[in-house]
Chains A and B, each alone.
Chain A
Amino acid sequence: MPPSLKVDSNKVPGCLSTVHVHADYDGASGTLSYKGDSDGLLTKGLVAMLVDGLSGCTPEEVRGVDPGFISRSGIEQSLTPGRNNGFLNMIQVMKDKATDASEGSGGGGLGGGEEEEDKQEGGPIYNEMITKLQLLQPTSLTLLDDSASHASHAGSSGFSGESHFKLSIVAPAFSGLNALKRHRLVYTILGDVMDRIHALEIEAKDPTQA
């Protein structure tokens, strides 16, 4: 990856090492080609794997990548939680760049109704939630940090961002469960994250409802 591409707009947030990802879109073939690099060996390997796997794909294919492969392939077991977070962020950045590079065809990202989802910077709580929610093997997941729009209301003092979230999630795990049970499942999965955030809006669907 040429040094000229190692700029802040290509930097993957939330990684222990420094990781950059760049996407080029070929209008003729409708496919993307990625370049990536990292100063750490492990992360260099991870980004190389993603670059290799996702280059040549269309933006739709990239956006449709299900992060669940991390658990199914066993990669998750080989990585610490911090590395898993970083890996998820790499995938997310590549998806965002797929949307940007092809100038976004249709409603962005992973099927959520919210508009602002594409540029998630991902604070530590956000990343932790994303990682934990993988346990549900979601086919679609959109998490929005909505804290800014709640910044000044009673009872929320003491939180600085990462306080209010909106989650849209589709997972087979929800089949056969009523709304209450689905929400309880999400709370259980998130565990002590709920003690650290103020509010979570949940829309939980099973694949037949998506």
Chain B
Amino acid sequence: MSIRRSTSLQCENHSPDFEQETPSATKERIDALVKGNPVLLFMKGNKLFPQCGFSNTAVQILTTYNIDFETVDVLSDEAIRQGVKDYSQWPTIPQLYVAGEFVGGCDIMIEEYQNGNLAETIEKAKADMM
């Protein structure tokens, strides 16, 4: 399997000595990420170095589809780590967004990968983006 050239979005961690990002600012940041990327995974670690078994599984699944996808490392951004749980009303990481819509976490990705639904959702998102 060839390693796809891909990017990981590193969100800057705002130093607590200066401006603390407000929850609504975090929400806007998340919103922009979710809407600006056809396939976006909030995870622990990044694509090359996942730092959690569930995040790793999520990455592996997405890699099988041979698409470009973005990831956000919540471990390096505390505001997003909490913010995305509020934004999605979902208590755990990883979290997958496709075409701006929340798909689910690792368990759901596995189920949807196995039944073919995830492939369909991603194909549709790719087509819409063209």
- Give the interface of A toward B (CB within 8 A): 150, 153-155, 179-180, 183-184, 187, 194-195, 199-203
Residues of chain A lying within 8 A (CB to CB) of residue B104: 179-180, 183
- Give the interface of B toward A (CB within 8 A): 44-45, 51-54, 75, 89-92, 102-108, 111-112
The answer to whether A179 and B111 touch (CB under 8 A), given A187-B91, A195-B91, is: yes
Inter-chain contact B54/A199, CB cutoff 8 Å: yes
Residues of chain B lying within 8 A (CB to CB) of residue A200: 92
Inter-chain contact B54/A187, CB cutoff 8 Å: no
Residues of chain B lying within 8 A (CB to CB) of residue A202: 107
Complex CA gap A202/B108 in Å reads 9
Inter-chain contact B90/A187, CB cutoff 8 Å: yes
A-B contact pairs, 25 of them (CB 8 A): A150-B53, A153-B51, A153-B52, A155-B75, A179-B104, A179-B111, A179-B112, A180-B104, A180-B108, A183-B104, A183-B105, A183-B108, A184-B89, A187-B90, A187-B91, A194-B91, A194-B92, A195-B91, A199-B92, A200-B92, A201-B54, A201-B106, A201-B107, A202-B107, A203-B107
- Distance of B125 from chain A, by nearest CB (Å): 16
The answer to whether A154 and B45 touch (CB under 8 A), given A183-B108, A201-B107, is: yes
Residues of chain A lying within 8 A (CB to CB) of residue B106: 201
Residues of chain A lying within 8 A (CB to CB) of residue B111: 179
Residues of chain B lying within 8 A (CB to CB) of residue A150: 53
Checking A155, A183, A194 against B44 with a beta-carbon cut-off of 8 angstroms, the contacting residue is A155
Inter-chain contact A154/B75, CB cutoff 8 Å: yes
Complex CA gap A153/B50 in Å reads 11
Complex CA gap A200/B107 in Å reads 9
Inter-chain contact A183/B107, CB cutoff 8 Å: yes
Residue on B with the closest CB to A187? B91
Residue on B with the closest CB to A190? B91
Residues of chain A lying within 8 A (CB to CB) of residue B112: 179
Complex CA gap A75/B91 in Å reads 32
Checking B45, B92, B108 against A179 with a beta-carbon cut-off of 8 angstroms, the contacting residue is B108
